[in-house]
Amino acid sequence: MSNTMRNSVWDRHGVIGAIVGQCKVPRMARVTQTFEDNRLKDIPGTIAKEFQKPEIASRIKPGMRIAITAGSRGIAHIAEITKEIVKQIQTLGGKPFIFPAMGSHGGATAEGQREVLESYGITEKTMGVPIISSMETVVIGHTPEGKPVYIDKNAHEADGIVVVGRIKPHTAFRGTWESGLLKMMVIGMGKQKGAESCHDEGFGRMAYNVEVYADVIMAKTNILFGVGIVENAFDDTYLIEAILPSQFKKREAELLELAKNLMPKILIPKFDILIVDRIGKNFSGDGADPNITGTYATPYASGGPEFQRYVILDLSDETHGNAIGVGMADFTTKRVFDKTDFDATYPNALTATVVMGVKMPMVLKSDREAIQAAIFCCTGIDKTKPKIVRIKNTSHIDEIIVSEALIEEVKRHPQMKLLEEPKELPFDREGNLSFDW
C-alpha cells in the first residue's frame, strides 16, 4: 500500500454516519465494455525495425553521448521500450544515458524523480546505463514574447537527445498538439522551471505555448529524433514510431487523431454518481483522466459522461502520495486523506497554476459512507434507485460495475455485456471495499 502520512479521525460523534446512513447502497453488477483491442505483439522487434530506418540510424554517430527522456506517465511497457531504445542506440555506437523528463513531478526534486522512474522499473541496474537525475536547467532561448525556454542541463550537454513520449489527448486543453513529443520537450525536459515558464499564462494559452516553446528547443538543441507511442483502449501499446524532428508537428498531429479514435470511454452517457476506486499519476497527469470521467480542472477542455456526484476511494501505490485530481471529486475517504503527501502534490499544482485538482473534497471515514453521501446529495432522483457507475481507474474501463437501475440500459447497448446478476457490495467491518474485482 502507499505510505500512510497520518492517521486522521472523522465523525467522532457518529452524526455524519447517521445522516448519510439513511441512503442504502444499491446492489451492483459487473459489466464488460467492448473496444478495439489491436496491440503490438513484438515491442523490441518493432523498435529495432524503426531504428533500422536509414533516416533514423544515420542520426547516431559512434561515440555520441545521447540523452534519452523518461517521463512520469504510466506508459504500458515503458521499461521494456526504454531498454530497447538504449540497446538500439548502443548497437549504432552511441553512448546513452537516461534522464527524468517530468517537469515538476516527483515532488520537483532529483531524488523524487529518480524514485518515480524506479517505480516503473527504470533503474541503472535494469537499463544498464546511467540515470542522471537533476533539477538543474539552462536557458537555451526565448519565445517571440520573450519567455525563457529551459531544458535539463545534462541533456543540453549531451551530443544529442532522443525524445520518448506517449501521444494522446491532454486533460486540460485542446489543440493541434496536446500530450506528446512536443509537450515532453517543453514541459518534461524543462523540469520545474520550464514547466512553470510554459504554464505561466495558464491553459488558455497552452496550445500556442507548446508550439512556440518546442520551436525554440528544436532550433537550439540537437534533438536527434522522437519515439512516439500510441496506446489502445486497454492502455496497451498500439503503435511505436521513430520520428524525425522535422516531422514532429505533422506526424504528432496525425497520431493525436489516431489516439483520440482509440480512446475508451464510459459507454453510459448519463447517470447519477461516478465512483473511481483509485487515482494516481500512473493513470493520468490529473490522477484520473478527465477525458474518461468528464471532470476537467480547466474550462479549456470538455467531453465525457454527465453525472451529479463523483467519489474517489483510494490512491494508487505508484502515485507516492501525489493526490492531484482528488479535488475534482465531491467525496473521498479517510484512506485517501491519510495517504496524501501534500509535499508531493502541491508543487505539481503550483507549477501548472491549476489548483482545482488539489483541493480536498468532503472526507468520509469509509467507502460505504462516501458512497452514501454521494447518494444523499443527489437531487431530483429516486434515491432508492440511484444510477451508479464504478470503475477501477481511468486506465482500465473494459470492465466496470453498475447499479441495478442501469441494468436494462446495459442490456440494450451493443458494446456492453452483463457478467453477473446484481449483488450487494462486499464492505468489510469498517465499511471499506476490496479493489480486487
Question: Same domain, yes or no, for 308 and 406?
Answer: yes
Domain boundary pick from 217, 236, 262 = 262
CA atoms within 13 A on the CB side of 6: 10
Question: Could you give the angle at the alpha carbon of 11 between the alpha carbons of 28 and 325, nearest 5°?
Answer: 60
**Residue from 127, 123, 126 nearest 115 by CA:** 123
Q: Which among 262, 290, 314 is the end of a domain?
A: 262
- Shared-domain flag, residues 251 and 141: yes
What is the rounded CA–CA span in Å between residue 394 and residue 234?
Answer: 10
Domain-embedded: residue 369: yes
- Does 245 share its domain with 284? no
Could you tell me if 148 and 183 lie in one domain? yes
User: Burial, 63: exposed, middle or buried (Cβ in 10 Å; 0-12, 13-18, 19+)?
Assistant: exposed
Q: Which residues, other chains included, contact 6 with Cβ-Cβ below 8 Å and sequence gap of 6+?
A: 337, 338
Domain closes at, from 219, 241, 262 = 262
Same domain, 123 and 173: yes
Q: Are residues 225 and 329 in the same domain?
A: no
- Pair (257, 108) in one structural domain: yes
* Domain annotation covers residue 336: yes
pLDDT digits (tens, 9 = 90+) for 416-436: 999 999 999 999 999 999 888
329 and 208 share a domain? Answer: no
How many angstroms separate the CA atoms of 279 and 319, rounded? 8
Domain housing 352: 15-35+264-418
Q: Is residue 215 one of the residues assigned to a domain?
A: yes
Residue 437 falls inside a structural domain: no
Which uninterrupted H or E stretch holds 126? helix 124-127
Q: Measured between alpha carbons, how far is residue 434 from residues 168, 274, 392, 428 in Å?
A: 31, 17, 11, 8
- DSSP secondary structure string for all residues of 403-425: EGGGHHHHHH-TTEEE-S--B--
Residues 200, 275 within the same domain: no
DSSP 349: H
Q: State how far the Cα of 197 lies from the Cα of 205, in Å rounded to an integer.
A: 12
Q: For residues 167 and 255, is the Cβ–Cβ distance under 8 A?
A: yes
Q: Is 380 exposed, middle or buried (0-12, 13-18, 19+ CB in 10 A)?
A: exposed
- Is 84 inside any structural domain? yes
Say if residues 66 and 132 touch (Cβ distance below 8 Å).
no
136 and 258 share a domain? yes
Q: Domain with 146 in it: what CATH number? A: 3.40.50.11440
Residues 187 and 226 in one domain: yes
For 64, 196, 259, 268, the CA distances from 167, given in Å and listed in that order, are: 27, 22, 7, 26
Residue 426 lies in a domain: no
- C-alpha–C-alpha distance, residues 121 and 80, integer Å: 9
The answer to the question of residue 81 being in a domain is: yes
**Can you list the residues of the chain whose pLDDT is less than 50?**
1
- Full-model pTM: 0.79
In angstroms, rounded to a whole number, what is the distance separating the alpha carbons of residues 324 and 166? Answer: 20
- Does 436 reside within a domain? no
**CA-based torsion, 400, 403, 404, 409: positive or negative:** negative
- Picking from 249, 168, 242, the residue whose alpha carbon sits closest to that of residue 214 is 249
Q: How far is CA 194 from CA 214, 223, 225, 306, 370, in A?
A: 11, 17, 21, 35, 38
pLDDT of residue 181: 97
Shared-domain flag, residues 403 and 274: yes
* Contact criterion met (CB below 8 Å) for 309 and 328: no
Alpha-carbon span 75 to 424, nearest angstrom: 34
Q: Angle at which helices 191-199 and 342-352 pack, to 10 degrees?
A: 50
Q: How many distinct structural domains can be found in the chain?
A: 2
**CA 10, chain centre distance (Å):** 30
